[in-house]
Amino acid sequence: MDTLFSLKVFRHVVQNGSFTRTAEQLHISTAMASKHVSHLENTIKAKLLHRNSRYLHLTEAGEEYYRQCSYALDTLDTAAQKAAGGADKPQGMLRVTMPLWFANNLLSSWLVEYREHYSEVTLDLVLSNRHVDLIAEGFDLALRVSKTPSPSLIVKPLAVIQFVLVASPEYIRQHGKPATPEEAMQHKAILPSYTNNQHNVEITHVATGEKSMLSLKPVMLTDHTLMVRELVKAGGGIGYQPLWAVRKDLEDGSLVRLLPDYTLIYDQLNAAYVDRAFLSAKVRSFIDFINEKIHQSNY
């Protein structure tokens, strides 16, 4: 039998002082109401109610069981109400995993603005370049840069991420600014260690449409995208960066864009989550907010 329903039957019987009234309220037979109480007694091996044709009252064990039973049912009701509320109103803890390079001023300002709009949501942001298991590690949502997202996830495309080749002004002063792909391949490169797609890149000349390969030989590798940026800014070599991550650096002159006449690497930013059914308001609001900010900013 359904023990949870048996607990509800038991509480109603005690509150009503009657199996008959309880059966009417719960739309079951009086005999079935009695069976549910007997099921609980058999489960806990203790008598809960003394009853005859006219009266019923709790045993000593029944009084304590009734208190604990009522507390448990009230707790479950409260949890259900909160969970249902979370489907309608953004609230509670939202765990999001995203790439390391999302630790930039643009995304940070968007996240602060999201919190100003949805003050009942607490953001738990985990930045990592590895593809975490959303279910096993308890994440509500992943922001992932990939053209081939996992088929086991629900994926909403958000934006195309453009990568640019950059160097520091000091590096250019010392080593010169490459004007062609062939010249760029003669320079020292700092590249991510977690991917090979930035070592050999097919690039396209914007004006002519001519394609060529850009093959860079790294002098340093790192698993941290923003470490690539810092090493490049320190003059260690040239390197690729997501345009989002270095837009401010390009504007203030601390980095210089190389080969601006070529399109380099493009990738897809996706919002990924586990299940379309019962999508919570906090997840839905976050995806919609980030999507809106991307389109407003033309990134």
Cα separation, 104 vs 246, whole angstroms: 8
Q: Give kind and range of the element (H or E) at residue 220.
A: strand 218-222
Return the axis-axis angle of helices 105-117 and 243-252, rounded to nearest 10°. 110
**pLDDT score, position 115:** 95
Location of each CATH 3.40.190.290 domain in the chain = 161-267
What b/e readout covers 56-78, taking b as 16+ CB neighbours within 10 angstroms?
A: bebeeebeebbeebeeeeeeeee
92-158+269-297: what fold? D-Maltodextrin-Binding Protein; domain 2 (3.40.190)
Backbone angles phi and psi of 234, in degrees to 5: -80, 0
In this structure, what token pair is assigned to residue 118? Answer: 């949805």
Sheet architecture: strand order including 200-205: 211-215, 200-205, 262-263
Q: Give kind and range of the element (H or E) at residue 155.
A: strand 154-167
* Eight-state DSSP code of residue 52: -
Return the axis-axis angle of helices 60-88 and 3-16, rounded to nearest 10°. 120
161-267: what fold? D-Maltodextrin-Binding Protein; domain 2 (3.40.190)
**pLDDT score, position 15:** 85
**pLDDT score, position 74:** 81
Contact 178, 184 (CB under 8 A): yes
Location of each CATH 1.10.10.10 domain in the chain = 3-84
Specify the CATH number for 3-84; select among 1.10.10.10, 3.60.15.10, 1.20.120.140, 3.10.20.340: 1.10.10.10
pLDDT means per 10 residues, the chain with 299 residues, are 90 89 92 92 91 80 89 80 65 92 89 95 91 85 84 86 94 96 96 76 91 92 90 96 90 96 89 77 93 81
Q: Is the pTM of this model over 0.75?
A: no
**pLDDT score, position 147:** 77
Nearest to 33 by CA among 78, 71, 1: 1
In this structure, what token pair is assigned to residue 179? Answer: 């004007």
Cα separation, 26 vs 23, whole angstroms: 5
Distances (CA, A) of 193 to 74, 85, 150, 238, 299: 53, 44, 21, 15, 26
Cα separation, 216 vs 275, whole angstroms: 40
Q: Give kind and range of the element (H or E) at residue 285.
A: helix 281-297
In this structure, what token pair is assigned to residue 45? Answer: 């091996």
**pLDDT score, position 191:** 93
Dihedral of CA atoms 116, 122, 128, 130 in degrees, nearest 10, equals: -120
Cα separation, 245 vs 10, whole angstroms: 61
Cα separation, 295 vs 299, whole angstroms: 7
**pLDDT score, position 82:** 64
Location of each CATH 3.40.190.10 domain in the chain = 92-158+269-297
